[in-house]
Amino acid sequence: MIKQVNPHFKEFLFDWNQKFQFLVGGYGSSKSYHVALKIVLKLLKEKRTALVIREVYDTHRDSTFSLFDEIVSDLKLDHIVRCVSSPMQIRFSNGSRIIFKGMDKPAKLKSINNISLIWIEECSEVKYEGFKELLGRLRHPTLPLHMILSTNPVGEDNWTFKHFFKDDREKRFVLDDKELYEKRIIVSDDTYYHHSTADDNLFLPESYVQQLEELKEYDPDLYRIARKGHFGVNGIRVLPQFEELPHEEVLKAIADINRPLKRVGMDFGFVESYNAVVRVAVDHEKKYLYIYWEYYKNGLTDDKTAEELKEFVETQELIKADSAEPKTIRYFQQHGFNMVGA
């Protein structure tokens, strides 16, 4: 059996030394193809049950399932590997199999046992809670466990960046993503990192690469993602000239403002969104906005939040809060807060 592959992926195809393998890259880099090929080669050699995940189940048919079908055909494995389309499964003559599931139907994950290998394709689309749920499904009495995650880069606020690289808010650091872009392959603890771009896919037509290059002229955000394969800030920034200064410098600058306009704003959240409170000051002459105090937490009930913000009861500063939550605003008012809907 001879199969031509892209050189940048040769090492990856046979490296199973780590539990986690995280592949990030631009469009057309062939990362998904090589993940599928890697899994087929592994399951031909060892009897395993592999689980392939996407956020939406129906997207498997034209993506991951189609890739496996193509690989089985290219390698002329039809006599020992069957691609069953309904329900989608790949069955091997040695007892190995590949199951396809979507996180939009999480209940169907509970009946799956002895999963020793999971591939999460477009993992940035899967919620962090889903990733942690899948970790709990990865278990086998004897075989080493592996999870492969592949994605195009997204914003640095996505859980994939925070988990596998760094989370500034939680002061958590794992790996500098810029180091990965430079070295292309890095092993850190129990994670194998792999970065790729269209340049690594020798089978791409030059016209496709040129099309990606042209993005630089009219869509720099998409160029960063699709061509360079880099994480970053998506879209137009609300505060493009934002600067961080030492707290004492900010307070001094506010003290020097002629008649500063001060405000307090609050947004409510609980599960995915956050209770967020900011104290701000505006310098009308310079058109500067200063954010000099913030509170940002979720998962707390109103009584706990009120306790943590009790200084506002003492200062009686006017808080303009999310007007979509009149019941919550009334709760805070009843507990002494000077709060109105924005």
CA-closest candidate to residue 54, choices 26, 35, 28, 79? 35
The predicted model gives 171-194 an average pLDDT of 96
pLDDT in tens, 107-157: 677 778 889 999 999 999 999 999 999 999 999 999 999 999 999 999 898
Looking at the predicted structure, is the pLDDT value of residue 186 above 70?
yes
Output the pLDDT for position 240.
Answer: 66
Q: What whole-number distance in Å separates Cα of residue 271 and Cα of residue 67?
A: 36
The whole-model pTM stands at 0.72
First-to-last C-alpha distance (Å) of the chain: 67
- pLDDT for 152 equals 95
Q: Report DSSP state, residue 46.
A: S
Helix (H) or strand (E) holding 24: strand 20-25
Q: How confident is the model at residue 234 (pLDDT cuts 50, 70, 90)?
A: low
Greater model confidence, 234 or 319: 319
pLDDT tens track for 236-262: 667 767 888 899 999 999 999 999 999
Cα–Cα dist 319/341, whole Å: 8
Determine contact, residues 308/300, Cβ cutoff 8 Å: yes
Choose among 71, 110, 109: nearest CA to 92. Answer: 71
Domains and CATH numbers, the chain: 7-228 (3.40.50.300), 247-341 (3.30.420.280)
Asked if pLDDT for residue 81 goes beyond 70, the answer is yes
